[in-house]
Amino acid sequence: MFRSALGSVLASRLLAVMGSSVVIWGCAAGGPSQAEWPPVSKRWFDRGDASFRQGDLEDAESASENALRVTPDREEVRLLAARIALAKLEYARTLQVTEGLESNEARSLRGRAYWYSGDIDHAADELEKLVADPEVRDAWAVEIAKLARRGVGRKPFQMSGGQVGVTDMPRTGSTAMIVPLEINGEPALGLIATGTAEAVVDSSAGGQPSWVSLRFGENVEVRDVPALAKDLSGISRQVNAPIKILLGVNLLRHVHPTFDLIGGQFVVRRYEPPPPPIATTVKLSYVRGGGMLLRGSFGAEATAAQASLLVDTSIVYPVALDSGGWKKAGVPASSLRSVPNAGSMKSGTVPLLKLGAFELPGVPALSGDDPVKEREKGLDIELDGLVGSGLLANFRVTLADGGRTMWLEDMPHEAFAPSNLNIPETPDDAPEEAPEEEEAPPAGKAGKPGTGKPAAAKPAPAGAAAKPVAPAAPATPAAVLPTKPAPASAPAKGATKP
C-alpha cells in the first residue's frame, strides 16, 4: 500500500514536470522563431532575397514589400527592404525601415544612407558605433567615420561658378577615361572610376583622407568633396600618366556628367541634364550605395538570359565574365583562347549583349572567375561580370536622376573603328609601338550633350543589330598620354561644347 501511494506521488510529479516542459516549449515557440514565420511571408522573402542577389531590383522590391505587408516587424524582412532601398538610392526609405534596429547590419545601412544623403553628422554617429564593435570588418566605414567626424557641419559637393564646365579629355592609346582638373588649385589628372564608391586621392606622396576642392574646365568648382587616400602609383603605371585622383560614383552622381571619349570631352553641370534626342536608357543601381550595377541580357529575345554587371571604368577592356556569365552567354569554355603573358586569363567573344535598346554583337571579353569574385566580396550580389571603359568608350554617356539613369548615345559607324580609339590593331604578342596621333573625328560627327541638338549619325533602330564593339587592349598601357595636364584649349575639330 505504501509503495502504491509512493508510486502515485512520483507519477504525479513526473506528469507535473512533463507538463511544465510542454509549457516552456510552448512559450519558446511563441517567440520569433523560424517555425513561427508565416509561410507566405517566408516565400516572399526568399523570392526577394534571391532576386536581390541576382541584381533584379524591381522584382526584389516587389517581393520584399509583400513580405513586409505580412510581417512588418520581422527584422530579416526589414533589412532586406533596406538593402534594396539603399541600392536604389532611396535614403529616406532605408532609414524608415531600419528605425529601431540596433544590429550591425542595420547600423551599416543607416550610416551609408546618412552619408550618401549628405547628413554628415548622423553618418559619423552611426558609423562610429558600427566600427566600435570588434566583430565588424568594414574598411570603408572605418575611413568614412573619421572623414565624417572631421567634416561635421560641411555640405558636401557644393558647386559654384558657371552652369556647365567642359574639359578636353586627352586622346590616349587605351580607353582609360582621363580628365584634367584642379585639386585645391593645383593642376592634376583624374581617372573616371565608376567601380569606386568615393573620390580617392593619391597617397604615394603623403596624401591623406581629406575634404578637397575640385575645378573642372575654367568655371565650375565643386567644394567640400570627401576623398579617401590610396597609393595610385600602380594605376598611374597602367595608364602611363600621373593619376592624382579617382573620380568615384559619389562625386559623379552630384556633377551630372557626360563623358565622351571619342569626342574628347568631359562635361559637368549644376543642373539635371535633359534627355538626349536619340539615346537608350539604362537603369542603374548601387550595391551598398557605392557599386554601380546595371542589368543587361545575352540576347535580343525577352527570354534571353539576364546579366548582372558591375561597371568599372578604371579597367580598360570591354567586358570580363566569370564562368557563369559565359554559360549564360552561350559560349562554351572550350572555345575561349589563352591570353599571352596573362597567366590563366582567357578571352572570347560575347555573341550579343543588349544594353537598354542597343544590341551589341561581337563584344570582346576576358574570362576569369577571380576578378569577379573579388568584386563580389561584401556586396551580397552574384555578379556575372564586369563592364569596363572599353565598352562605354563606344558611346557618349550621361548620368542623370542623381545617378540612377545612364543615357547611352550611339556613335557614328567610324567611331567604332579601333583607330579612332587609338587602339593598335596588332596581335597580343606583337612588340609594343606607340600609335600615331589620330585626327579628331570630322566636323559634325560629335553632337552636343545636354543641349537637345542631335548628333549627325542616327543609331540603329530598336531591334536592329548595332556595329561591333571595338576591342580594347587590356595588357597594353597608354603610350601617348602627356605626363602633365595640357593647358585649357579650344575643343578638337568636330567636338562641340554642350
412-447: burial string, b at 16+ Cβ within 10 Å, e else: beebbeeebbbbbeeeeeeeeeebeeeebbeeebbb
| Per-residue pLDDT tens digits for 147-194 | 999 988 899 999 999 999 999 999 877 899 999 999 999 999 999 999
Average pLDDT over residues 191-202: 96
pLDDT recorded at residue 34: 52
pLDDT recorded at residue 372: 85
**What is the spatial distance between Cα 396 and Cα 496, in angstroms, rounded to a whole number?**
13
Closest alpha carbon to 438 in 457, 459, 456, 415 = 415
| Per-residue pLDDT tens digits for 36-51 | 899 999 999 999 999 9
pLDDT averaged over every residue in the chain:
81
**How far is C-alpha 302 from the geometric centre of its chain's CA atoms?**
25
Closest alpha carbon to 253 in 221, 229, 284, 224 = 284
Average pLDDT over residues 8-24: 42
11 or 162: which leads in pLDDT: 162
pLDDT-derived band at 342 (thresholds 50, 70, 90) equals: confident
| Per-residue pLDDT tens digits for 267-308 | 999 999 999 999 999 999 999 999 899 999 999 898 899 999
| Per-residue pLDDT tens digits for 258-269 | 999 999 999 999
Average pLDDT over residues 11-37: 45
pLDDT higher than 70, residue 8: no
**What is the spatial distance between Cα 110 and Cα 107, in angstroms, rounded to a whole number?**
5
Average pLDDT over residues 134-146: 94
What pTM value is reported for the model?
0.78
pLDDT higher than 60, residue 325: yes
**What is the spatial distance between Cα 446 and Cα 260, in angstroms, rounded to a whole number?**
9
pLDDT recorded at residue 249: 97
pLDDT higher than 90, residue 422: no
pLDDT recorded at residue 468: 55
Map 258-297 to HEC letters. EEECCCCEEEEECCCCCCCCCCEEEEEEEECCCEEEEEEE
| Per-residue pLDDT tens digits for 366-414 | 998 888 888 887 777 899 999 999 999 999 999 999 999 999 998 654 4
- Least confident piece of the model among 77-81, 363-367, 374-378: 374-378
- Least confident piece of the model among 104-118, 235-249, 358-372: 358-372
**How far is C-alpha 20 from the geometric centre of its chain's CA atoms?**
56
pLDDT-derived band at 21 (thresholds 50, 70, 90) equals: very low
Map 386-401 to HEC letters. EECHHHHCCEEEEEEH
Residue carrying the nine cell digits 552574384: 382
pLDDT recorded at residue 55: 92
Q: For domain 38-150, give the CATH number.
A: 1.25.40.10
Helix (H, G, I), strand (E, B) or coil at 313: coil
Locate 457 and state its grid cell: 549619325
| Per-residue pLDDT tens digits for 459-474 | 444 444 444 555 444 3
The angle subtended at Cα 169 by Cα 270 and Cα 159, nearest 5°, is: 20
Angle between helices 57-70 and 39-53 (to 10 degrees): 160
pLDDT recorded at residue 259: 96
